[in-house]
Amino acid sequence: MPDLYLVLASTLFVIGLTGFLIRRNALIVFMSTELMLNAANLVFVSMSHVHGVLDGQVAAFFVMVVAAAEVVIGLSLIVTIFRARRSTSVDNEILLKG
């Protein structure tokens, strides 16, 4: 039974990772990151259930808080960049080069 949770989590993680690596649109990349975080959350929660302790659930809450904060900053950055450049492609080298 826990194996299935892990398989699901791995699948979600790999989907997220693949999306992160191959998509150009910043919004999709962003969503892929969220997907990977949630895959990790799923592992935390299921393991918490399996072991019967709450540590994993606490960790999952922390991840959610971090993810929420990330969304706030990340989305506002993307919006700003989109306004300035009319594009959200992450392949634009200048974005990360000084």
Q: Which stretch binds another protein (CB under 8 A): 1-9, 18-26, 46-54, 56-64?
A: 18-26
DSSP codes of every residue in 12-77: HHHHHHHHHHH--BHHHHHHHHHHHHHHHHHHHHHHHHHHT-SHHHHHHHHHHHHHHHHHHHHHHH
Question: Which positions from 29 to 68 touch another protein by CB under 8 A, shown as an x/- string?
Answer: x---------------------------------------
The residue (of 58 and 80) whose beta carbon lies closer to another protein is: 80
